[in-house]
């Protein structure tokens, strides 16, 4: 889930910076999760797109490629504000993304321990 080698590459092989970024993800991911939930409940495409974009960047730094790609899908669908079928897809993918936020946070906490 977390590619530790990629995380180190992304931080210029600086383990202190990698640790700090992991801590930052753990502390900010709870708020991002809440924003994602609120956006889903209110069908707020703008907030959903913004939150997914932020998560995409965070996942990318952590080397969580599958989660980054899922966040990108959500971001693009939310930005498109498409048809009813796309809305159903957006909701499904957003719920998957919520689960991934929780999973990645748990994985990052393990790295920090």
Mean pLDDT across the chain, nearest whole number?
A: 93
* Cα–Cα distance, 8 to 15 (Å, whole number): 7
Packed helices 15-42 and 84-112: angle between N→C axes, nearest 10 degrees: 150
Distance (Å, rounded) from C-alpha 88 to C-alpha 60? 26
Are 103 and 1 within 8 A, CB to CB?
A: yes
pLDDT at 108 exceeding the cut of 90 = yes
- Say if residue 83's pLDDT is above 60: no
12-32: per-residue pLDDT in tens?
A: 999 999 999 999 999 999 999
pLDDT above 90 coverage of the chain, percent: 86
32-59 pLDDT, tens digit each: 999 999 999 998 999 999 999 999 999 9
pLDDT reported for residue 84? 57
Please report, rounded to a whole number, the percentage of residues in the chain having pLDDT higher than 70: 96
Report d(CA 29, CA 18) in Å as an integer: 16
Q: pTM of the prediction?
A: 0.92
């Amino acid at each position: 889930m977390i590619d530790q080698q990629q995380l180190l590459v992304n931080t210029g092989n600086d383990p202190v910076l990698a640790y700090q970024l992991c801590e930052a993800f753990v502390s900010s991911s709870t708020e991002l999760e809440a924003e994602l939930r609120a956006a889903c409940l209110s069908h707020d495409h703008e907030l959903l797109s913004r939150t997914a974009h932020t998560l995409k960047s965070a996942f990318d730094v952590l080397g969580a490629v599958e989660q980054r790609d899922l966040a990108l899908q959500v971001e693009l669908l939310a930005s498109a504000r498409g048809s009813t079928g796309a809305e159903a897809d957006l909701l499904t993918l957003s719920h998957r993304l919520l689960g991934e936020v929780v999973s990645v946070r748990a994985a990052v906490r393990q790295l920090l321990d």
